[in-house]
């Protein structure tokens, strides 16, 4: 006979309610339209420590600027301005 389990269906395996932090797109706030592949100081904000392009949920960019940033990072890598992998 199974022992009675505590009935706590609510919050079972659920994440705690997310705090709504309003994210503002970095480029929209600064009224910048284009993302330059040569502006590596800005692009470094949007890569992880493993030099991966950070997702939108992390960068807080709007969809249009996230596309431009990811493209600029890839061009920047080809121009050897940003590394593909973290430097040892």
* Interface residue with Zn ion, options 62, 74, 75, 81 (CB under 5 A): 62
Question: Binding of Zn ion at residue 25 (CB under 5 A)?
Answer: yes
The stretch among 3-11, 13-21, 62-70, 75-83 that binds Zn ion (CB under 5 A) is 62-70
Residue 30 neighbours by CB distance under 10 Å? 9
The DSSP code sequence of 56-84 is: HHHH---HHHHHHHHHHHHHHHHTTSS-S
* Interface residue with Zn ion, options 35, 43, 65, 68 (CB under 5 A): 65
Question: Binding of Zn ion at residue 32 (CB under 5 A)?
Answer: no
Phi, psi of 75 (to 5 degrees): -65, -40
C-beta separation of 48 from 12 below 8 A: no
Please state the closest distance from residue 75 (CB atom) to Zn ion, in A.
19
Question: Binding of Zn ion at residue 28 (CB under 5 A)?
Answer: yes
Please state the closest distance from residue 68 (CB atom) to Zn ion, in A.
8
Phi, psi of 53 (to 5 degrees): -70, 125
């Amino acid at each position: 006979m199974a022992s009675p389990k505590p009935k706590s269906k609510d919050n079972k395996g659920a994440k705690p309610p997310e705090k709504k932090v309003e994210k503002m797109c970095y480029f929209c706030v600064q009224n910048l339209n284009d993302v330059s592949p040569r502006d590596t100081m800005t692009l470094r904000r949007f890569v992880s420590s493993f030099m991966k392009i950070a997702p939108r949920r992390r960068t807080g960019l709007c969809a249009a600027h996230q596309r431009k940033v990811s493209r600029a990072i890839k061009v920047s890598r080809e121009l050897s301005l940003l590394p593909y992998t973290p430097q040892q």
